[in-house]
A and B are shown apart, each in its own frame.
Chain A
Amino acid sequence: MKESCSSISRLLEKYFDRETTGDEGILVQDHLRQCAACQAQLKSMEELRATLRAPVDEAVQKETFAWVWQKIEREIQDRAKPSWRESIRAWFGLSFPFRRRVWIPAVAAALLIVAIGSPLFFKETPSQTELSIVEYVQSDTNNVMVFESERENVAIIWLFEGAEGDPFS
């Protein structure tokens, strides 16, 4: 029994796509041996596929997917970037708490720097007694006068000898 072209043409696309069952495939093959028109139709389908596939394959072969690699590399870098704590650990070589031998001189050095540097940062405010530069005056034989003026930057100790007048204006 010869199948008509119209009934085969429905199966021809399935056959072309290799989706026919065994019996359907035999049916199509038997028909194609006898029908030049259906052979021509199959051939045109194959040519169309070849025409479409060539530029796609070429594009796939040429494409290097650079952007994909860039993204992957960025991802790797982000994951590989250590936190500050891990960086410090890495710097000291081992886990921080176990490096007490490093801690001790580091803390000692820091304390030393603070002890030396603190007077530079914290200026002492002189007390009232420190403003006076004369600590004591003593004379068993003469009268003595002390004149101090912080504003005028003057400190005078005057020993009254003899009968001279008042030297202060």
Chain B
Amino acid sequence: MMGKRANFVIVAFVLVLAPLFVSTALGQVQTRLRIIEASNVGSGIDPALKDIRNQLGSPLNFTSYKLLRDESLSLALNRPQKIQVHETVSLEITLTKQQKEKAVYQIRIFRKGSEILDTKARLSPGRTLIVGGPEHRQGNIIFAISARF
């Protein structure tokens, strides 16, 4: 009688806790991708970029930062998403690992279909990764990537 009760308690524990682990394993990571044009034509930082103003303006010496696109991506594990930035440049972002408060991304940049950059970075809540460099008009493209848990 008591053995049955004990088994019931253990099974109940597992059933209650299992969904927590499953949701973590199968969850998606909301990822914000901002595409920015940085140049020395004009001056000022787009108001939509005020949260990363210091991250852009302190190490980089451009005078103007303009937000071109603001994408909210729902990334599942190992499911790459490709974003066409303009005619010749595209970006592929893949969530390769997800931990409790950490997400690992693989980011690949292509020009005219050829890979020009491949990187892997680990992001925690509140941190933004800046990937920049591809030429665009009179300036350069910058990708600001941040994860939302």
Which residues in A have some Cβ–Cβ distance to B below 8 Å?
99, 101-102, 104-105, 108-109, 112, 116, 119, 130, 133-142, 144, 147, 149, 152-162, 164, 166-169
Q: Across the interface, which residues of B come within 8 angstroms of A161, CB to CB?
A: 111, 116, 133-135, 140
A135 CB contacts on chain B under 8 angstroms: 104, 119-122
Within 8 A of A (CB), among B46-81: 54-55, 58-62
Given contacts A130-B122, A133-B122, A155-B127, 7 further A-B contacts (CB under 8 A): A101-B3, A102-B6, A140-B115, A152-B55, A157-B131, A161-B116, A166-B61
B117 within 8 A of A: yes
- The answer, among B10, B54, B59, B128, for a CB contact under 8 Å with A168, is B59
Chain B, interface size: which category?
35 or more
- How many A-B contacts at CB < 8 Å in the complex? 124
Contact of A159 with B116 in the complex, beta carbons under 8 Å:
yes
Q: Does B45 contact A (CB under 8 A)?
A: no
Whole-angstrom distance between the alpha carbons of A162 and B111 in the complex?
Answer: 13
A156 touches B13 (CB 8 A): no
**At the interface, yes or no: B114 with Cβ under 8 Å from chain A?**
yes
Chain B residue nearest to A144 (CB atoms) is B117
In this complex, what residue of B is CB-closest to A139?
Answer: B117
- Whether the pair B117, A142 counts as a contact (CB closer than 8 A) is yes
With a cutoff of 8 Å between Cβ atoms, the chain B residues found around residue A157 in the complex are: 117, 119, 121, 129-133
Of the candidates B6, B100, B129, B134, the one whose C-beta lies within 8 Å of that of A159 is B134
